[in-house]
Amino acid sequence: MSHNPLTGALALLKQVNPGAYLNAFLAYASGRLRVTKPRSLPLKLDIILTKACNLRCTFCISYGSLTGERWMDFGLYERIARRLFPTAFSVLFCSGGEPLLYPRLREALKLAQTHRTATIMVSNGMLLDRETARWLVADQSLHDLRISFDGASKETLERIRRGARYETILENLAYLTHLKRRQGRVFPRLSLRYVVMKSNAPELPEIFRVVAPQGVERVEAVSLIVANDLDFQESLFNHRQLAAEVFAQARCQARQYGIALKLPPLPGSDAGRRRCRQLWEFCQIDTDGSIRICYPSWRQRLGFFDDGFERVWRGLHYQRLRQTVDSSIPYFPYCRHCYVHQGFNQKSSHHQELQPEAYTIPGLEDLQVPFNERRQENLDAWRSRERLH
């Protein structure tokens, strides 16, 4: 089935507040000029509504307890929205939990809609039931729904995403697409996110045949970055010929089915190396209101939203980060290892466990979170979940 991505893209552009375009220009210019105290605000936000999840994926970093601070207070979310959404181009709901578990998700999306901020949500698709599909299509408040789906076969998907049901997810996607077509709606646009590793790479070319009938418009493959106790042999860094062959096959299948495809750079290549713009364009806000600069900085907080966002965004720590990001001694040590600087040709860009000390900023110990073992965190989290139910 062929899709016209231009139609969806144009429809999305009309949803965004004009103020966000001005902010995007300022952010881009500030990043290019390496301004340490920019006038702009983040144009891309990642708001973590919950760290609770209904699955136990083999490669995920778990987050422990499913109670208390693992859920964002809706009042905090409203304050974030009032301050940052009018100038943000997009807001992503993901990073560690399943957004469809958040009890006020519909309200959260509608609030973003009132500020004319584009919305993106990553979900495992298990909770995308018919009632949810109906309000998503009716509200048109979610613009991009990205389903995490890491195998063309039932066996592979359910092995990687423990607790998932292959048929359930596909049925949920088919019903959502059916509703959109019946009602003539554009949103949410449907895409797939495929974390590619050695054990599921051979199935990537087959994924287009599986999801084309469900109305998927785009597939994004991302390379596995190994964390904690996961076997490093799963990384495509160790299987470069396999990656090259699979990516070539995937391109052919994507063209055949009329589905857009985004592939990561081949491991071992210099591709992907560029000047970092995250410090000028992106910000993540965790369930407790803590602020982080990028995804690898998940251990290092820089402050809290309710302490004054601008005080953090334009404060001393962010200024030092921007001043040193291109240097050999960056304020955030992990910048030395990040694939943005290294490309995909360094082992350290694929294996987080090699430099655990690089994920924190010396002197900011009071704003750091522990580097826990994934197995133990998963065990603790699911014991907590069992007590809740």
Distances (CA, A) of 183 to 120, 141, 146, 168: 21, 15, 21, 23
Per-residue confidence (pLDDT) for residue 269, from 0 to 100: 65
Rounded (10°) CA dihedral 244, 245, 251, 257: -150
Q: What is the pTM of this model?
A: 0.89
> How sure is the predictor about 13, in pLDDT bands with cuts at 50, 70 and 90?
low
Rounded to an integer, the average pLDDT of 73-85 is 97
Show Cβ contacts of residue 387 under 8 Å, excluding neighbours closer than 6 positions. none
Query: What is the arithmetic mean of pLDDT over 23-28?
Result: 94
User: Does the CA dihedral 139-10-251-209 come out positive or negative?
Assistant: positive
pLDDT at residue 388 greater than cutoff 50: no
280 or 359: which leads in pLDDT: 280
Task: Give mean pLDDT, residues 27-39.
Answer: 96
Residue 385 has pLDDT above 90, yes or no: no
**343 closest CA partner among 250, 275, 248:** 275
Mean pLDDT of the chain: 88
pLDDT tens column, 104-142: 999 999 999 999 999 999 999 999 999 999 999 999 999
C-alpha to C-alpha distance for 298 and 59, rounded to whole angstroms: 16
Strands (DSSP E) contained in 75-127 are: 90-93, 118-123
What burial class does residue 168 get, using C-beta atoms within 10 Å of its C-beta: 0-12 exposed, 13-18 middle, 19+ buried? middle
Q: Looking at per-residue confidence, does 184 or 267 come out higher?
A: 184
pLDDT bucket at 372, cuts 50 / 70 / 90: low
Q: Indicate the burial class of 383 (C-beta count within 10 angstroms; 0-12, 13-18, 19 or more).
A: exposed
- Residue 290's pLDDT is what? 94
- For residues 141-154, give the mean pLDDT: 97
**Residue 1: pLDDT band with limits 50, 70, 90:** very low
Ranking 241-250, 368-377, 378-387 by mean pLDDT, the lowest is: 378-387
**374 versus 225: which is more confidently predicted?**
225
279 pLDDT above the threshold of 60: yes
Nearest partner of 33 among 323, 271, 327, judged by Cα: 323
pLDDT greater at residue 269 or residue 302: 302
In this prediction, residue 226 carries a pLDDT of: 81
> 65: pLDDT confidence band, cut at 50, 70 and 90?
very low
What confidence score (pLDDT) does residue 320 get? 97
242-264: pLDDT as tens digits:
999 999 999 999 999 999 999 99
At 310-369, the pLDDT tens digits run 999 999 999 999 999 999 999 999 998 887 877 777 777 777 777 778 889 999 999 988
* pLDDT at residue 66 is higher than 50: no
- Which SS3 state, helix, strand or coil, does residue 356 take? helix
Residue 272 has pLDDT above 80, yes or no: no
